[in-house]
Structure 1
């Protein structure tokens, strides 16, 4: 359902997605109404439809909504039927997830069975909160070798922050296509339907399902106007549409369960749109890293790309943090991440290269979970090397790591606790940290 078989796309990208700003795109000139959101007759025989990602009465700065001008309204569909609990992609609470205080680390997700698409390749590690109450988050991984065909997915439970680790993804959304390769992140807003194609073949990566308030840029405070992620670097898709007939499976995630219906047309039939509830892609290499130029190691919050605030100021529902290439210049300072216990819970993944706090075992495609107040930090080899290093400016440019950080503990699913790729000797990396105290 692409190319000459029905897809039509705008010629130019729509540019920066921004945050809270209005953006628009049309695949056919004249498809966007002028001056009215829902005129008596929308242009070109289209239907006008609003997609709201927040409540109507939320403050203007927080409100997310988009107007879609489509070939058929979303309301024109048959009933959905419950697809049953997913065996791999599931709701952590329904799956019997356990709050585990241990430090946990996994190797990369094993290669999928032949014929596995993105949706079937999703694998739930854990999560917290309650999707029905729009609070908390879930952590998933994916491994796929087959594009989604005649199949579309939408998540009513939250927005999906996708972090490719191996192989690019072509995300065909209601708003148009987005390409996300390793080193990028893509965000699919709550309720937006999409299909995933694999232009490079097999693909693997991570997904943060955010049930809470939508991701936005963090406040900069004393940093001022510049630094961290710039709004202009978040790119929205150019409008495209599929005017095709034939059976299409539409799968939705609703209150932790999967439901399915078979449409007689593609729901990716939006010809034009405007608003701020839109998908986007961001190149992590554009992140403007800030850090110390005197002494001491800054807290990892200085590397926040996106944040989903909670009702408690400063305690995020979930933060997305990136450890991008950067210079280390601090004097008389232990430069790798320090030993710490934290009220927040941290899931860390690795896109490429190595992570400066671990000498080995933390692999691209793998991940570690350090739940609230679990003690962690550099392994023995890293600590000994960093404590004895002759300090000079050093460029860290051989790795790209990230973190999903959340205010609540992450309950771990049975499949993650029993997985064959769980590293059962992870605690051993801290063995051998000898006593050196001498009064």
Structure 2
């Protein structure tokens, strides 16, 4: 059913005519909206940063985790450390240093693999693909596959539980904006794929229904000689993404959507020029997390809106409180120190609350919540 929101655009008191630009002097703008950045919204202009808290008690606090402190030593993807989960997705961190000894198949939903570090070869039902750092590899549900790393692999696994990954609707900018679907690579029935076929015992480990089933074959079941159709794994690298941007307006995170499922979206923040209009915000705007839990995985570069965040770290901002740039970034809200960003990050926004697994708890920076607080107010001056 279409949503008939109660809407009557209105302005009260001191307010900017254009969101995220020309803010009333001495104010801090906060976006208060529905459905992430896709629904109706108002902009509230505060005298103080909406994140200027002095204390925090309770489960909704912002949290940060360091995947580089996980033990690793995984034999395959189903050994990967579970970090965050709900009924619609599972987010794991996977380290694979050598070739998988068994094939994997996910019976619970589509898998999206983001290669944080490493390189190698992926073999699946449909053929062979090489991969490198920064690749997204989307594996449709029930695809049988394995990897052979040429460099030790660290990867983020994002499962669309009982669901499928889609490309976002690009509306007015057309289907070739952000990235042209033609840049997506697909598996090939090539010489390397044919060379790995043959007799010899192989196992397929099928993850489904809360467990792993193992099927044993006297030959390699990745024995295809060809295929046709419009369903297969696809690969796209963040370097092929051309961010949607405006010289005069800070576009919302939803403009950077790369994949989406029924209850969450996956966005990619890539290097881009800062907005050139002197009145336009140059940093992410404060916003109230009213409907979505927000996860950011920091892949590479200088994370300009966060302090003390390194590559391989992950933050979680549960829905229910406003957040935005930290004091170090807020100083440069309108006058950035350089011409462009140089960060790469993966964002996962989930419509349902996420649970934090034990592996993530063990790597948590419990002082992260303090990084916005009143103690940092002097840094704004």
Q: TM-score, normalised by structure 2?
A: 0.77
* Aligned partner of 1:336 among 283, 290, 314: 283
For residue 428 of structure 1, give the secondary structure of its aligned residue in structure 2.
helix
1:423 maps to 2:365: yes
* Aligned partner of 1:138 among 74, 90, 103: 90
1:326 maps to 2:272: yes
For residue 239 of structure 2, give the secondary structure of its aligned residue in structure 1.
helix
May I ask how many residue pairs the two structures share in their alignment?
A: 316
* Aligned partner of 1:356 among 301, 304, 312: 304
Structure 1 residue runs without a partner (length 5+): 1-98, 130-135, 311-316
1:263 maps to 2:217: yes
**Is the 8 Å Cα contact of residues 169 and 181 (structure 1) preserved in structure 2?**
yes
1:307 maps to 2:270: no
**Pairing of 1:140-155 with structure 2 (within 5 A):** 140-149=92-101, 151-155=102-106
Distance 1:106 1:375 in 2: 20
* Aligned partner of 1:366 among 307, 313, 319: 313
CA gap of 1:407–1:120, structure 2 versus 1, over 3 A, is closer
**Is the 8 Å Cα contact of residues 204 and 365 (structure 1) preserved in structure 2?**
no
Residue aligning to 2:21:
none
How far off is 1:112 after superposition?
A: 4.2
Residue aligning to 2:127:
176
CA gap of 1:110–1:177, structure 2 versus 1, over 3 A, is farther
- Pairwise CA RMSD: 2.4
How far off is 1:120 after superposition?
A: 5.7
Distance 2:357 2:198 in 1: 39
Distance 1:212 1:287 in 2: 27
How far off is 1:367 after superposition?
A: 0.7
Residue aligning to 1:81:
none
**Pairing of 1:5-84 with structure 2 (within 5 A):** none
1:157 maps to 2:108: yes
Distance 1:394 1:270 in 2: 49
1:124 maps to 2:124: no
1:413 maps to 2:363: no
Distance 1:302 1:243 in 2: 43
Structure 2 residue runs without a partner (length 5+): 1-57
How far off is 1:390 after superposition?
A: 3.3
Runs of 4+ in 1 over 6 A off after TM superposition: none
How far off is 1:154 after superposition?
A: 0.2
Distance 1:121 1:167 in 2: 18
Distance 2:141 2:311 in 1: 28
Distance 2:185 2:220 in 1: 24
Residue aligning to 2:177:
227
